[in-house]
């Protein structure tokens, strides 16, 4: 005789958001039928520095993870640990088999991705994104974080992002990379809240090391692949 699944009343139940916690699953064993990637245990996680805000973007780079928090960007080693000298300078990496997630190595510059993970774009070793609170457009490369907005455009971006934050703190700024023209494309969404603010699409060229032009096209969404720049407008799909 079956009365259904047993129920348990937990009077201490509550919802909690852990905005700087990263969980990891069990491994996928190559050459076997075992795939534990979707299996998570309650202790399979690590918490990171909460003073830098929530984690908004995680990007896999080779065997490591780039972690973009609202106010800071760091690199997370997987199954590895960093060796430091007496003055705190990283000197190398050593394998550590018994730990999946290790300590975060934060970049020196005081920049994060804010609330705009949609601004992220990548090509090769270069990653692009914005930090609206600091009015900056950034490139993360082998040399670290570089504010490319300072290339004769800092006043423009500081004013633009400041106005956007006043009108709509959750505004969208879509990022993509055009591999044919070798440009990072950044498109600020049109704002209709309050007094409104027109959208703008602007391009930065790493080859020319400057902001090159404004585009008239304002996509509803934009992303990039290793082949083409992809945009969406009024339900239509475009490849550039």
pLDDT in tens, 144-194: 999 999 999 999 999 999 999 999 999 999 999 999 899 999 999 999 877
What pLDDT, on the 0 to 100 scale, is given for residue 2? 58
* Residue 78: pLDDT over 70: yes
Separation of alpha carbons 58 and 46, rounded Å: 14
The b-or-e profile of 68-99 (16+ CB within 10 A means b, else e) is bbbbbbbbbbeeeebeeeeeeeeeeeeeeeee
* Residue 100: pLDDT over 50: yes
- Hey, what are 202's tokens? 């602007």
Separation of alpha carbons 211 and 128, rounded Å: 14
What does pTM read for this prediction? 0.84
* Res. 3 pLDDT band, cuts 50 70 90: low
Give kind and range of the element (H or E) at residue 71: none
* Res. 36 pLDDT band, cuts 50 70 90: confident
User: Which segments of 70-192 are extended strands (E)?
Assistant: 73-78, 80-84, 90-95, 101-106, 121-123, 126-131, 136-141, 144-147, 173-178, 183-188
Separation of alpha carbons 204 and 151, rounded Å: 10
* Residue 34: pLDDT over 50: yes
What pLDDT, on the 0 to 100 scale, is given for residue 98? 61
The b-or-e profile of 122-148 (16+ CB within 10 A means b, else e) is bbeeebbbbbbbbbbbbbbeeeebbbb
What pLDDT, on the 0 to 100 scale, is given for residue 84? 46
């Amino acid at each position: 005789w079956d009365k259904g699944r047993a129920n348990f009343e937990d009077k201490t139940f509550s919802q909690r958001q852990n905005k700087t916690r990263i969980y990891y699953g069990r491994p996928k064993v190559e050459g076997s039928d075992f795939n534990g990637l979707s299996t998570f245990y309650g202790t399979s996680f690590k918490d990171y520095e909460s003073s830098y805000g929530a984690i908004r973007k995680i990007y896999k780079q080779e065997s490591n993870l780039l972690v973009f928090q609202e106010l800071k960007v760091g690199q997370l080693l997987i199954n590895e640990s960093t060796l430091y000298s007496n003055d705190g300078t990283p000197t190398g990496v050593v394998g550590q088999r018994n730990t999946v997630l290790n300590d975060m190595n934060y970049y020196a510059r005081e920049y994060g991705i804010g609330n705009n993970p949609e601004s992220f774009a990548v090509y090769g070793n270069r990653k692009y994104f914005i930090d609206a609170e600091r009015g900056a457009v950034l490139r993360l490369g082998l040399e670290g974080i570089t504010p490319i907005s300072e290339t004769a455009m800092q006043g423009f971006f500081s004013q633009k992002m400041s106005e956007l934050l006043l009108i709509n703190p959750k505004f969208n700024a879509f990022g993509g990379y055009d591999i044919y023209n070798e440009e990072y494309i950044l498109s600020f969404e049109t704002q209709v809240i309050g007094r409104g603010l027109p959208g703008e699409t602007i391009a930065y060229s790493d080859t020319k090391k400057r902001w090159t032009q404004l585009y008239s096209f304002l996509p509803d969404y934009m992303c990039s692949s290793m082949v083409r720049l992809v945009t969406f407008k009024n339900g239509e799909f475009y490849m550039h």
